[in-house]
Amino acid sequence: MLPLLSDNNRLRLFSGSANIPLAQEVARYLGMDLGPMLRKRFADGELYIQIQESIRGCDVYLIQPCCSPVNDNLMELLIMIDACRRASARQITAVIPYYAYARADRKTAGRESITAKLVANLITEAGANRILAMDLHSEQIQGYFDIPLDHVYGSPVLLDYLASKNLRDLVVVSPDVGGVARARAFAKKLNDAPLAIIDKRRQAHNVAEVMNVIGDVKGKTAVLVDDMIDTAGTILEGARLLRQEGARQVYACATHPVFSGPAVSRLSSGMIEEVIVTNTIPLDHSKQFEQLKILSVANLLGETIWRIHEDSSVSSMFR
């Protein structure tokens, strides 16, 4: 009689094309190789995915952030999930370091789609059994899934780096009212640093008008904290206002460096001492600049994958 697969031998790790370097780092942390997968594109643009080893009865983890090109990477993730389901994987976990369409998480006007929920439905219907996501734009997205979801945070990586810099007179700043809970949690772990809030009025998508600062920032080192930086309009205007209010230095921290449109020119304008992000989204050379610091979340994701596989606590990592 052939021996059954042990739980450790059931673990399989595959990567989509969105961020292969991050997936390779995760694999190294886990002491394993990425599984072989054939990926190609037909002349009309259709994607083809084939898993090139047996995964029958295995616990499969698919690493794929849904970053730009968003629709291509999301579709690739769905095809990977479907391929694993049809290959009789025991459990399929979609590891999504960056979750696309997360900002469309509610209706703000008539006849709008709640696209964050639609994407959750697509991933679930494709055959995923579990989700591992990092720094979702809003906590409510966890409730959009009818399957288990583990939500992890990039803040430990960002906090460790800030602590190593020994910055003095810190004040943590939320760039808008919606990010207060995130900034408060960040401030608490920085030795209960004081909190300030930027009051913002948004005129249109990707356009923000900063109004005033709630809190004392004069003579302090201000740390702007957000989940993502897209066009950097909010961060730049926030930094400019903090300077006007007397902040000595301004740092910006975010987990996801989306960096669309004019983001690089805005962030490298000299208004911000350092822009600290993680590698949930790969940045090519054209999106890197002198003030940018990229930190890796590979070990954090690798440890989370191992804990899920071993049925251990994930939340205890963040206490």
Residues β-bridged to residue 55? none
Helix (H, G, I), strand (E, B) or coil at 33: coil
Residue 117 bears catalytic tag? no
Alpha-carbon distance values, 167 to 56, 162, 177, 254 (Å) = 51, 7, 25, 18
CA separation for the pair 149, 293 (Å, rounded): 29
Active-site hit among 40, 165, 188, 200? 200
Helix (H, G, I), strand (E, B) or coil at 72: helix
Structural contact between residues 7 and 56, judged by C-beta atoms closer than 8 angstroms: no
| Joined tokens for residue 133 | 């996501």
Residues contacting 261, CB < 8 A, separation 6+: 206, 231
Beta strands in the chain (DSSP E): 11-15, 37-41, 47-51, 59-63, 91-96, 130-134, 149-152, 170-174, 195-204, 207-214, 221-229, 249-257, 274-278, 292-295
Q: Strands 47-51 and 37-41: what pairing?
A: antiparallel
Alpha-carbon distance values, 130 to 61, 123, 133, 308 (Å) = 9, 10, 10, 10
**Alpha helix locations (H) across 31-114?**
70-86
- Using left for φ > 0, alpha for ψ between -120 and 50, and beta otherwise, residue 214 falls in beta
| Residues identified as active-site | 200
